[in-house]
Amino acid sequence: MMAWFYDFGAGTMWIPAGIAWSYFILCFLIGPKLRRFGELTISDYLAARFDSPLLRPVFSIIVSVWMVILLGSLYVQGGLLFGEMFGFTYAQSTLMTAAIVVIFTVFGGMVIILKTDFIGTFIIIGSLVVTMPFLISASDGWTSVVTTIQSESPDYFTSSGELSAMMAFSWFFIWLFGYLGNPGYLTRFYSAVNEREIIKAGIAIAVIYLPALTLFFISAMYARTLFPNIATQKCSGLHTRMSMRHRLSSASPWPVCSWPSSPPPLLGCSPVHLV
Protein backbone atom coordinates (compact mmCIF):
# COMPACT_ATOMS: atom_id res chain seq x y z
CA MET A 1 0.00 0.00 0.00
CA MET A 2 2.94 2.33 0.61
CA ALA A 3 3.83 2.04 -3.06
CA TRP A 4 0.28 3.06 -4.00
CA PHE A 5 0.47 6.08 -1.69
CA TYR A 6 3.79 6.95 -3.30
CA ASP A 7 2.56 6.62 -6.88
CA PHE A 8 -1.12 7.57 -6.89
CA GLY A 9 -1.59 10.08 -4.09
CA ALA A 10 -4.59 10.85 -1.91
CA GLY A 11 -6.96 8.78 -4.02
CA THR A 12 -5.51 5.63 -2.48
CA MET A 13 -6.71 6.74 0.96
CA TRP A 14 -10.09 5.36 -0.09
CA ILE A 15 -8.54 1.92 0.45
CA PRO A 16 -7.85 2.31 4.20
CA ALA A 17 -11.20 4.07 4.54
CA GLY A 18 -12.94 1.03 3.07
CA ILE A 19 -10.89 -1.33 5.23
CA ALA A 20 -11.67 0.68 8.37
CA TRP A 21 -15.41 0.51 7.72
CA SER A 22 -15.06 -3.19 6.95
CA TYR A 23 -13.35 -3.79 10.30
CA PHE A 24 -16.08 -1.80 12.02
CA ILE A 25 -18.82 -3.96 10.48
CA LEU A 26 -16.87 -7.17 11.13
CA CYS A 27 -16.19 -6.45 14.79
CA PHE A 28 -19.56 -4.99 15.73
CA LEU A 29 -22.01 -6.93 13.57
CA ILE A 30 -20.49 -10.11 12.13
CA GLY A 31 -17.78 -11.21 14.57
CA PRO A 32 -19.95 -11.56 17.68
CA LYS A 33 -22.48 -13.68 15.78
CA LEU A 34 -19.78 -16.00 14.44
CA ARG A 35 -18.25 -16.36 17.90
CA ARG A 36 -21.66 -17.09 19.39
CA PHE A 37 -22.46 -19.68 16.73
CA GLY A 38 -19.40 -21.72 17.70
CA GLU A 39 -18.39 -23.44 14.45
CA LEU A 40 -14.71 -23.88 13.58
CA THR A 41 -14.67 -22.61 10.00
CA ILE A 42 -16.74 -20.37 7.77
CA SER A 43 -17.65 -23.42 5.68
CA ASP A 44 -19.09 -25.09 8.78
CA TYR A 45 -20.97 -21.94 9.70
CA LEU A 46 -22.58 -21.53 6.27
CA ALA A 47 -23.55 -25.19 6.06
CA ALA A 48 -25.20 -25.10 9.49
CA ARG A 49 -26.71 -21.63 9.13
CA PHE A 50 -28.45 -22.39 5.83
CA ASP A 51 -28.94 -26.10 6.51
CA SER A 52 -27.10 -27.05 3.33
CA PRO A 53 -24.38 -29.73 3.55
CA LEU A 54 -23.38 -28.89 -0.03
CA LEU A 55 -22.18 -25.43 1.03
CA ARG A 56 -19.36 -26.92 3.11
CA PRO A 57 -17.36 -28.53 0.24
CA VAL A 58 -18.24 -25.80 -2.26
CA PHE A 59 -17.10 -22.96 -0.03
CA SER A 60 -14.04 -24.96 1.05
CA ILE A 61 -12.95 -25.26 -2.58
CA ILE A 62 -13.48 -21.53 -3.14
CA VAL A 63 -11.43 -20.68 -0.04
CA SER A 64 -8.66 -23.11 -1.04
CA VAL A 65 -8.29 -21.56 -4.49
CA TRP A 66 -8.32 -18.07 -3.02
CA MET A 67 -5.70 -18.99 -0.41
CA VAL A 68 -3.37 -20.51 -3.02
CA ILE A 69 -3.38 -17.20 -4.92
CA LEU A 70 -2.95 -15.14 -1.75
CA LEU A 71 -0.19 -17.27 -0.26
CA GLY A 72 1.59 -17.41 -3.60
CA SER A 73 1.93 -13.62 -3.67
CA LEU A 74 3.06 -13.57 -0.03
CA TYR A 75 5.71 -16.23 -0.65
CA VAL A 76 7.02 -14.21 -3.58
CA GLN A 77 7.28 -11.08 -1.47
CA GLY A 78 8.88 -12.98 1.40
CA GLY A 79 11.38 -14.52 -1.00
CA LEU A 80 12.32 -11.12 -2.38
CA LEU A 81 12.56 -9.53 1.06
CA PHE A 82 14.82 -12.17 2.63
CA GLY A 83 16.94 -12.24 -0.51
CA GLU A 84 17.53 -8.50 -0.39
CA MET A 85 18.12 -8.37 3.36
CA PHE A 86 20.29 -11.45 3.90
CA GLY A 87 21.64 -12.34 0.47
CA PHE A 88 19.87 -15.69 0.11
CA THR A 89 18.82 -16.92 -3.29
CA TYR A 90 15.23 -16.36 -4.30
CA ALA A 91 14.43 -20.08 -4.00
CA GLN A 92 15.97 -20.34 -0.53
CA SER A 93 14.15 -17.24 0.68
CA THR A 94 10.80 -18.46 -0.64
CA LEU A 95 11.23 -21.85 1.05
CA MET A 96 12.15 -20.10 4.30
CA THR A 97 8.97 -18.02 4.09
CA ALA A 98 6.87 -21.13 3.46
CA ALA A 99 8.54 -22.95 6.37
CA ILE A 100 7.79 -20.09 8.75
CA VAL A 101 4.13 -20.10 7.70
CA VAL A 102 3.83 -23.87 8.15
CA ILE A 103 5.51 -23.87 11.58
CA PHE A 104 3.37 -21.02 12.85
CA THR A 105 0.18 -22.64 11.56
CA VAL A 106 0.90 -26.13 12.94
CA PHE A 107 2.10 -25.11 16.39
CA GLY A 108 0.24 -21.86 16.94
CA GLY A 109 -3.04 -22.07 15.09
CA MET A 110 -5.36 -19.08 14.99
CA VAL A 111 -4.22 -17.76 18.37
CA ILE A 112 -0.63 -17.22 17.24
CA ILE A 113 -1.88 -15.35 14.17
CA LEU A 114 -3.75 -12.94 16.41
CA LYS A 115 -0.64 -12.40 18.50
CA THR A 116 1.69 -11.89 15.54
CA ASP A 117 -0.79 -9.45 13.98
CA PHE A 118 -0.93 -7.51 17.23
CA ILE A 119 2.84 -7.40 17.64
CA GLY A 120 3.42 -6.75 13.94
CA THR A 121 1.11 -3.75 14.01
CA PHE A 122 3.19 -2.03 16.66
CA ILE A 123 6.44 -2.99 14.91
CA ILE A 124 5.24 -1.33 11.71
CA ILE A 125 3.97 1.76 13.52
CA GLY A 126 7.21 1.90 15.51
CA SER A 127 9.21 1.72 12.28
CA LEU A 128 7.19 4.62 10.96
CA VAL A 129 7.86 6.67 14.09
CA VAL A 130 11.60 6.02 13.73
CA THR A 131 11.62 6.77 10.00
CA MET A 132 9.58 9.97 10.00
CA PRO A 133 12.16 12.20 11.75
CA PHE A 134 14.78 11.22 9.15
CA LEU A 135 12.39 12.05 6.32
CA ILE A 136 11.38 15.38 7.84
CA SER A 137 14.95 16.46 8.64
CA ALA A 138 16.12 15.57 5.13
CA SER A 139 13.42 17.67 3.44
CA ASP A 140 12.95 21.43 3.24
CA GLY A 141 9.73 21.45 5.21
CA TRP A 142 6.08 20.63 4.66
CA THR A 143 5.40 23.51 2.25
CA SER A 144 8.31 22.55 0.05
CA VAL A 145 7.23 18.92 -0.08
CA VAL A 146 3.65 19.80 -1.03
CA THR A 147 4.76 22.35 -3.64
CA THR A 148 7.22 19.94 -5.23
CA ILE A 149 4.67 17.15 -5.52
CA GLN A 150 1.96 19.45 -6.85
CA SER A 151 4.30 20.80 -9.52
CA GLU A 152 4.98 17.27 -10.73
CA SER A 153 1.52 15.77 -10.12
CA PRO A 154 -1.19 18.43 -9.81
CA ASP A 155 -3.86 15.87 -8.91
CA TYR A 156 -1.84 14.11 -6.21
CA PHE A 157 -3.77 15.68 -3.30
CA THR A 158 -7.24 15.60 -4.86
CA SER A 159 -9.91 13.16 -3.68
CA SER A 160 -9.07 10.78 -6.52
CA GLY A 161 -5.33 11.47 -6.70
CA GLU A 162 -3.58 10.24 -9.83
CA LEU A 163 -6.40 7.77 -10.43
CA SER A 164 -9.66 8.27 -12.24
CA ALA A 165 -12.56 9.23 -9.98
CA MET A 166 -14.32 5.94 -10.74
CA MET A 167 -11.24 3.89 -9.89
CA ALA A 168 -10.50 5.75 -6.66
CA PHE A 169 -14.03 5.57 -5.28
CA SER A 170 -14.54 1.98 -6.42
CA TRP A 171 -11.54 0.95 -4.33
CA PHE A 172 -13.49 1.96 -1.23
CA PHE A 173 -16.23 -0.57 -1.97
CA ILE A 174 -13.87 -3.23 -3.29
CA TRP A 175 -11.87 -3.28 -0.06
CA LEU A 176 -14.96 -2.79 2.10
CA PHE A 177 -16.78 -5.82 0.74
CA GLY A 178 -13.58 -7.75 0.09
CA TYR A 179 -12.63 -7.74 3.76
CA LEU A 180 -16.17 -8.61 4.83
CA GLY A 181 -15.86 -11.93 3.02
CA ASN A 182 -12.20 -12.60 3.77
CA PRO A 183 -12.03 -16.07 5.42
CA GLY A 184 -8.65 -15.23 6.90
CA TYR A 185 -10.25 -12.50 9.01
CA LEU A 186 -13.58 -14.15 9.71
CA THR A 187 -12.05 -17.29 11.21
CA ARG A 188 -10.03 -15.22 13.68
CA PHE A 189 -13.16 -14.37 15.60
CA TYR A 190 -13.29 -17.97 16.79
CA SER A 191 -10.07 -17.34 18.73
CA ALA A 192 -11.57 -14.47 20.71
CA VAL A 193 -12.10 -15.05 24.42
CA ASN A 194 -15.66 -13.77 24.18
CA GLU A 195 -17.89 -11.48 22.14
CA ARG A 196 -16.99 -8.44 24.19
CA GLU A 197 -13.32 -8.77 23.22
CA ILE A 198 -14.30 -8.69 19.54
CA ILE A 199 -16.14 -5.41 20.03
CA LYS A 200 -13.20 -3.98 21.97
CA ALA A 201 -10.95 -4.92 19.06
CA GLY A 202 -13.27 -3.03 16.73
CA ILE A 203 -13.00 0.09 18.88
CA ALA A 204 -9.20 -0.18 18.97
CA ILE A 205 -9.02 -0.53 15.20
CA ALA A 206 -11.29 2.48 14.73
CA VAL A 207 -8.98 4.57 16.92
CA ILE A 208 -5.65 3.38 15.49
CA TYR A 209 -6.09 2.32 11.87
CA LEU A 210 -6.94 5.48 9.92
CA PRO A 211 -4.56 7.79 11.86
CA ALA A 212 -1.74 5.27 11.36
CA LEU A 213 -2.43 4.96 7.63
CA THR A 214 -2.52 8.75 7.36
CA LEU A 215 0.99 8.86 8.79
CA PHE A 216 2.05 6.23 6.27
CA PHE A 217 0.66 8.41 3.50
CA ILE A 218 2.62 11.40 4.81
CA SER A 219 5.82 9.34 4.90
CA ALA A 220 5.17 8.29 1.30
CA MET A 221 4.87 11.97 0.38
CA TYR A 222 8.27 12.74 1.85
CA ALA A 223 9.76 9.66 0.21
CA ARG A 224 8.38 10.75 -3.16
CA THR A 225 10.09 14.11 -2.78
CA LEU A 226 13.43 12.77 -1.55
CA PHE A 227 13.53 9.68 -3.80
CA PRO A 228 11.42 10.52 -6.87
CA ASN A 229 12.35 7.35 -8.79
CA ILE A 230 12.55 4.87 -5.95
CA ALA A 231 9.96 2.40 -7.31
CA THR A 232 11.32 2.44 -10.84
CA GLN A 233 14.89 1.86 -9.68
CA LYS A 234 13.96 -1.04 -7.45
CA CYS A 235 11.81 -2.75 -10.05
CA SER A 236 14.38 -2.29 -12.78
CA GLY A 237 17.23 -3.65 -10.71
CA LEU A 238 15.15 -6.49 -9.41
CA HIS A 239 14.04 -7.45 -12.90
CA THR A 240 17.67 -7.69 -14.00
CA ARG A 241 18.70 -9.79 -11.00
CA MET A 242 15.72 -12.10 -11.31
CA SER A 243 16.41 -12.65 -15.00
CA MET A 244 20.06 -13.45 -14.31
CA ARG A 245 19.27 -15.82 -11.46
CA HIS A 246 16.44 -17.75 -13.02
CA ARG A 247 16.97 -17.31 -16.76
CA LEU A 248 13.21 -17.35 -17.06
CA SER A 249 11.82 -14.15 -18.46
CA SER A 250 8.29 -15.51 -18.11
CA ALA A 251 8.73 -15.79 -14.33
CA SER A 252 9.91 -12.22 -13.88
CA PRO A 253 6.66 -10.19 -14.12
CA TRP A 254 5.06 -11.71 -11.00
CA PRO A 255 7.96 -10.94 -8.64
CA VAL A 256 8.57 -7.56 -10.25
CA CYS A 257 4.94 -6.52 -9.86
CA SER A 258 4.77 -7.87 -6.31
CA TRP A 259 7.87 -6.02 -5.16
CA PRO A 260 6.52 -2.44 -5.11
CA SER A 261 3.38 -3.60 -3.29
CA SER A 262 5.35 -4.96 -0.36
CA PRO A 263 5.48 -2.37 2.46
CA PRO A 264 8.67 -3.47 4.33
CA PRO A 265 11.15 -2.83 1.51
CA LEU A 266 9.69 0.57 0.74
CA LEU A 267 9.62 1.52 4.41
CA GLY A 268 13.19 0.39 4.80
CA CYS A 269 14.44 2.48 1.89
CA SER A 270 14.13 5.76 3.78
CA PRO A 271 16.48 5.14 6.72
CA VAL A 272 18.88 3.10 4.60
CA HIS A 273 19.41 5.86 2.04
CA LEU A 274 19.45 8.65 4.60
CA VAL A 275 22.07 6.98 6.77
- Which pLDDT does position 238 carry in this prediction? 41
pTM over 0.75: no
- Which pLDDT does position 224 carry in this prediction? 87
Taking all residues of the chain, what is their mean pLDDT, rounded to a whole number? 76
- Which pLDDT does position 247 carry in this prediction? 32
Confidence of residue 215 (pLDDT cuts 50, 70, 90): confident
* Across 67-94, average pLDDT: 85
What is the per-residue pLDDT across 84-143, written as a single tens digit (0 to 9) for each?
Answer: 888 888 889 889 888 988 888 788 777 777 777 788 888 888 888 888 888 888 888 888
Q: Which is more confident, 40 or 266? A: 40
Confidence of residue 263 (pLDDT cuts 50, 70, 90): very low
Per-domain residue ranges of the chain: 2-34+111-274
What is the per-residue pLDDT across 25-35, written as a single tens digit (0 to 9) for each?
Answer: 888 888 888 78
| Dihedral angle computed from the Cα positions of residues 47, 52, 58 and 64, in that order, rounded to the nearest 10 degrees | 10
Q: Which is more confident, 164 or 116? A: 164
Q: Which is more confident, 10 or 259? A: 10
- Which pLDDT does position 43 carry in this prediction? 79
Q: Which is more confident, 247 or 155? A: 155
User: Residue by residue, what is the 3-state secondary structure of the chain?
Assistant: CHHHHHHHHHHHHHHHHHHHHHHHHHHHHHHHHHHHHCCCCHHHHHHHHCCCCCHHHHHHHHHHHHHHHHHHHHHHHHHHHHHHHHCCCHHHHHHHHHHHHHHHHHHHHHHHHHHHHHHHHHHHHHHHHHHHHHHHHHCCCHHHHHHHHHHHCCCCCCCCCCCCHHHHHHHHHHHHHHHHCCHHHHHHHHHCCCHHHHHHHHHHHHHHHHHHHHHHHHHHHHHHHHCCCHHHHHHHHHHHHHHHHHCCHHHCHHHHHHHHHCHHHHHHHHHHHHC
What is the per-residue pLDDT across 168-194, written as a single tens digit (0 to 9) for each?
Answer: 889 899 888 887 777 777 777 777 778
227 pLDDT more than 80 = yes
271 pLDDT more than 50 = no
| Dihedral angle computed from the Cα positions of residues 15, 17, 21 and 26, in that order, rounded to the nearest 10 degrees | 40
